[in-house]
Chain A
Amino acid sequence: GDSVTQMEGPVTLSEEAFLTINCTYTATGYPSLFWYVQYPGEGLQLLLKATKADDKGSNKGFEATYRKETTSFHLEKGSVQVSDSAVYFCALSIWNYGGSQGNLIFGKGTKLSVKP
């Protein structure tokens, strides 16, 4: 079945370090890929998305490229800040020619802590 696997955390980095959170997926149909972020005490927020192969999603200094050949959508940021501390979720939704409910399938999440 369709699924998302992301690297386990927690990940602890110093401020201004480079961030990579790996995400791979298994999917039938034509998946769209997402990164959601959950800050402490808050709801899920869409961070970025990519709807087709080779698309790059970007927002707030974060980037991820939809790689169909490696079924990956790794999240990167060149210089993290303390305010980036949160849980990050990789997710996909499937859209088929026959119609789709469009529900999201999530990975387990990766907790990021950034130390000053």
Chain B
Amino acid sequence: DTGVSQDPRHKITKRGQNVTFRCDPISEHNRLYWYRQTLGQGPEFLTYFQNEAQLEKSRLLSDRFSAERPKGSFSTLEIQRTEQGDSAMYLCASSPGGHEQFFGPGTRLTVL
């Protein structure tokens, strides 16, 4: 399968714990985006990478959120000291440039 993959698909954690999600984009897509989707809402943009450079991170929800794409291939999104309000679906999308983005299945985070 050559689509965007995300791991894990589901994560349950306790408040205060750190979590890390991984996204593997479509091979050779140079742009990678992270979004958050809460129940009943559309996805909300968080950050994006052009190759390994993080070109926008001001939309990250707080300084507890960080993302990396160390070699311009896969990316990780980390949330430190999780809070119940962080419970959501975290989506990754990749793009070869241009208008179209291809989404992964998402990681559903539940913070107890």
Contact = CB atoms under 8 A, between A and B. Distances in A.
A93 B45 CA distance: 11
17 contacts: A4-B42, A34-B99, A42-B105, A43-B106, A44-B93, A46-B102, A89-B43, A91-B42, A102-B31, A102-B48, A103-B33, A104-B33, A104-B35, A104-B93, A107-B42, A108-B40, A109-B42
A49 B101 contact: no
B100 interface: yes
- Say which size band chain A's interface belongs to: 20 to 34
Contacts, number: 57
A46 to B, nearest CB: 6
Contact of B42 (A43, A102, A103, A108): A108
A49 B99 contact: yes
Given A43-B106, A101-B48, A101-B55, A106 B42 contact: yes
Given A104-B45, A109-B40, 10 more contacts: A4-B42, A45-B103, A51-B99, A91-B42, A101-B55, A102-B48, A103-B56, A104-B101, A105-B45, A106-B43
Interface of A: 4, 32, 34, 36, 42-46, 49, 51, 89, 91, 93, 95, 101-109
Contacts of A109: 40-42
Contact of A101 (B44, B56, B91): B56
B87 interface: no
Interface in B74-112: 91, 93, 95, 98-106
Given A42-B105, A43-B105, A43-B106, A89 B100 contact: no
